[in-house]
Amino acid sequence: MKKLKKYLIHIIQITVVISVFFFLFSNINIDENKNKKEIKVGLYEYGSYYFFDKGSKPNGYYNDLLKLISSKLGFKYTYVNCETQEGLEYLKNGKIDLLFGLSKTPDRENDYVFTDHYIADENYAIYANGNENCNDLSGLNGLKFGYIKNEQNNKYVSNLLSKKNIQPEFINENSYEEAQSDLKESKVDFIVAPVNRDLENQKFNRILEFSCEPVYIAGSKGNESLINQIDEVLSESNYGILIYNKYYNEYFSKNIFKNKIILVLILFILIFIYYIIFRKTRIIRKRKTISENLKNDKYVMYYQPIINPKTNNIVGLESLLRMKTEEGILTPNYFLEDIEKSNMVFDISIWIIKKVLEDYEKIKTYSFYENNKLYISVNVSFIEIEDEKFIEELIAISERTNFVRDLICLEVVEKFKSKDISKIQKTILTLKEHGFFIAIDDFGVEYSNLDLLNEIDAKIIKLDKYFINDIKTTLLKRKIIEFVSEICKVSDKSIVCEGVENDEQLEIIKNIDYEKIYIQGFFYSKPITIEELEHFTIKQS
């Protein structure tokens, strides 16, 4: 009921704004919008479509097309430099007016306006390093994929690999330029990029070439008129806009007040249908699917060991959610978004904790289990820690079951600021009283604040793998880890270094003078099933 009221308030607000707009500006002809402002266009380097020439001036196919459109429509424009993902945000919040080369998706069509005519049908390829194993798709299994989120060609390749049960490690990239740079520096093993002779000349393997889908010119909401005019240029015909002006001026001007009311009512009904029916129905359908997945055991837990490198013992396990499908096991990259949009994060987290407690009864019988000292971590969000119902359910679980104190570690991703600390400190103390304890996950990323080490009653600090990468060659990263370990030593907190993959990284961490510094990463083990965990043996370092 509260959500319904919220939607109605939004609808009324939107309706009022639209009504005022039409009453004030209804007699303005489309052509009168020309030359009123300078158009801001997002500029990002993208193969032969957008690049900088020797004089550092923009060049390429999209640049030439923009020149043609601006000369036809008579507007001035200025470029705004941005990465691909930044460009989408800038377009959404109105910092830029146009962005060239976007594919259409249902979500994007909700946020932006697109031309009807596409401007290119781009060819892409998977490029991999010169490793002799990277000659076909099967050789990509377990390798690092420089993945650009929200790019349709990247999603296409991700889905293709999943269907073939090929599971790479996803490394997030912000742009094609960054991805290509990381490939050249061997930070990733393969990427998706526009067909690029430069990469091929540098001996990178082109494994698969494909055409994903056509791309268009996108405008920010409110620039529908400009997009319509651009469409006319792309179709090389002005008839559409002339007919619209004639119809609008001859018909609507005769019955202006009546038609304004009708238009507002139509808009009100359409918005109402979207918010109340379509959106709600889609969420209900997704919630039903997720509930059925839970009931039919489609979700499964994987576990990644956390090792004390000084004693070579398992001190803990991180529980990681996976999903079983006909194509194979999927990581959260493929299904977490649906869970979040369906407001079922709470349900899934509670299910995970119950499943972990169930699996713990098996783990106790495994040979590596010693003296009740092992803990299992579960990832939770800051929003969940704030949620009273979630905390009440955790407490109920601890009281209903044979709950072992200090068994369950709640890993909170560090995306909160100092002002939020007082809000959750009391909650953390309550959880501690009932046998849970806290780890700060991804420490050192985003809103990093050393005050958190003192103010948050966390037992474990998890260092992001960013600090582990290049630890051998980057003195600053080693010093940061040593500095954090000194602070943790004083406050009696444990450190878990994530993403350890080789002997050199292991030895550097192992030689840090602190007994409670632990390791998690592919050096010891990738995430494995509960059945595989039974036979797990620690690699001798």
pLDDT in tens, 168-190: 999 999 888 889 889 999 999 99
Lowest pLDDT segment from 57-66, 176-185, 375-384, 406-415: 406-415
Split at pLDDT 50, 70, 90, the class of 511 is: very high
Write out pLDDT tens, residues 84-127: 888 999 999 999 999 998 888 888 999 999 998 888 777 788 99
Confidence of residue 240 (pLDDT cuts 50, 70, 90): very low
- Which amino acid type is present at position 477? K
Spatial contact of 214 and 138, defined as CB atoms under 8 Å apart: no
pLDDT category of residue 245 using cuts at 50, 70 and 90: very low
Q: Is the pLDDT of residue 238 over 80?
A: no
Measuring CA to CA, which residue among 343, 366, 361, 344 is closest to residue 299?
Answer: 344
Residue 476 pLDDT > 50 = yes
Q: Which three-class secondary structure state does DSSP give residue 145?
A: strand
Instruction: Using pLDDT thresholds of 50, 70 and 90, give the confidence band for residue 533.
Output: very high
pLDDT-based confidence at residue 373 (cuts at 50, 70, 90): confident
* Per-residue confidence band for 35, with pLDDT thresholds at 50, 70 and 90: very low
Distance, CA of 509 to CA of 468 (rounded, Å): 9
pLDDT value at position 400?
83
pLDDT above 50 for 489: yes
With a cut of 50, say whether residue 65 has pLDDT above it.
yes
User: Which of residues 33 and 319 earns the better pLDDT score?
Assistant: 319
**What distance lies between CA 378 and its chain's CA centroid?**
20
Indicate if the alpha-carbon torsion angle 78, 81, 84, 89 is positive or negative. negative
Q: Residue 79's closest CA among 110, 56, 48, 102?
A: 56
Domains with residue ranges and CATH for the chain: 1-26+256-289 (no CATH), 27-120+216-255 (3.40.190.10), 121-214 (3.40.190.10), 297-463+493-534 (3.20.20.450)
> Which pLDDT band holds residue 234 (cuts at 50, 70, 90)?
confident
pLDDT of residue 449: 59
- Average per-residue pLDDT in the chain? 83
Cα–Cα distance, 183 to 487 (Å, whole number): 36
Alpha-carbon span 364 to 13, nearest angstrom: 58
Question: Cα separation of 361 and 243, whole Å?
Answer: 74
* pLDDT at 496 > cutoff 60: yes
Q: In this predicted model, which residue has the larger pLDDT, 284 or 79?
A: 79
The pLDDT of residue 418:
55
269: confidence class by pLDDT, cuts 50, 70, 90: confident
Angle formed at CA 227 by CA 225 and CA 230, multiple of 5 degrees: 115
3-class DSSP state of 154? helix
Please give the pLDDT value at position 531. 95
pLDDT at 414: 53
* Region 146-163 average pLDDT: 87
Q: Count Cβ neighbours within 10 Å for each residue of 358-395 and write b for 16 or more, e otherwise.
A: ebbeebeeeeeeeeeebbbbbbbbeebbebeebbebbb
Q: Is the pLDDT of residue 461 over 50?
A: yes
Residue 165 is given by DSSP the state: T
Q: What is the amino acid identity at position 141?
A: N
CB 406 within 8 A of CB 375: yes
From CA 305, how far away is CA 317, in angstroms rounded?
5
- pLDDT for 256: 57
State the average pLDDT over residues 206-229: 87
d(CA 106, CA 246): 32
Is 31's pLDDT higher than 70? no
Query: Which long-range contacts (C-beta less than 8 Å, at least 24 apart) are formed by 285-293?
Result: 286/338, 286/341, 286/342, 287/342, 287/343, 287/344, 289/338, 290/338, 290/339, 290/342, 290/344, 290/347, 290/348, 291/344, 291/347, 293/323
User: Which amino acid, residue 332?
Assistant: P
- Written as six digits, the tokens of 296 are 């039919």
Q: How confident is residue 211, by pLDDT bands cut at 50, 70 and 90?
A: confident
Question: What sign does the CA torsion over 127, 128, 132, 136 have?
Answer: negative
pLDDT at res. 243: 29
- 453 or 226, which is more confident? 226
In terms of DSSP bridges, do strands 205-220 and 299-308 run parallel, antiparallel, or are they unpaired?
A: unpaired
* pLDDT class of 464 with cuts at 50, 70, 90: confident
User: Is the pLDDT confidence value at 135 over 70?
Assistant: no
* Tokens at 282, concatenated: 């889609």
Beta strand extents in 64-154 (DSSP E only)? 77-81, 98-102, 112-114, 120-128, 144-148
321, 317, 330: which is closest to 301 by C-alpha? 321
SS3 of residue 116 by DSSP: coil
